């Protein structure tokens, strides 16, 4: 039996590299590497490996609720998500705490009470932001 293993290894190493790679992917599980690393697997939010899964869920949610994205819309950081709903939008404001954001029309912290004009927005698209807000109650009252 041991001789069979030695023969199989010798034959394997004679195969061209693409064939060896295909066999390794089929026979061996994925090697995740050292998971104790301090840097991310992909440094650009996962885009180097395709569309990050959270973006797919956001796009699906907005597609299902497209009729609600209308009127005067507020989005955080950029108009990335409301861009495709322009037909039903009369105005878009972009809020950001970073004054250097060239897309921001309102520089404010959504958690600061009265930092946003009251009763102005028909729709608020606030993705990937709430986990960073220090006072959710104040933010929701403000929005």
Distance of alpha carbon 10 from alpha carbon 112, whole angstroms: 69
- In the chain, where the domains are located: 68-142
What pLDDT does residue 55 have? Answer: 87
Tokens of 116: 């946003």
What pLDDT does residue 29 have? Answer: 58
DSSP 47-95: GGGSS-HHHHHHHHHHHHTGGGS-EEEEEESSSTTTGGGGGGEEEEEEE
Give SS3 for 106: strand
What pLDDT does residue 49 have? Answer: 66
Tokens of 136: 């959710």
CA dist list (Å): 34 to 37, 39, 130:
6, 11, 31
What is the chain's pLDDT, residue by residue, as a tens digit (143 residues)? 566 677 777 887 788 877 777 777 676 655 566 667 677 766 777 676 677 888 889 999 999 999 999 999 999 999 988 888 888 999 999 999 999 999 999 999 999 989 999 899 999 999 999 999 999 999 999 88
What pLDDT does residue 14 have? Answer: 84
| Predicted TM-score (pTM) of this structure | 0.67
């Amino acid at each position: 039996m041991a001789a069979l293993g030695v023969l199989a290894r010798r034959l394997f190493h004679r195969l061209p590299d693409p064939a060896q790679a295909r066999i390794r992917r089929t026979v061996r599980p994925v090697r995740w590497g050292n998971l104790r690393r301090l840097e991310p697997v992909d440094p650009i939010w996962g885009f180097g490996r395709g569309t990050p899964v959270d973006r797919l869920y956001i796009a699906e949610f907005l597609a299902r609720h497209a009729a609600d994205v209308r009127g005067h819309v507020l989005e955080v950081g950029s108009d990335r998500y409301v861009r495709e709903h322009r037909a039903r939008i009369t105005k878009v404001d972009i809020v950001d705490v970073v004054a250097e954001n060239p897309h921001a029309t309102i520089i404010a912290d959504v958690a600061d009470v009265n930092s946003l004009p009251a009763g102005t927005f028909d729709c608020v698209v606030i993705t990937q932001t709430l986990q960073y807000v220090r006072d959710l109650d104040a933010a929701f009252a403000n929005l």
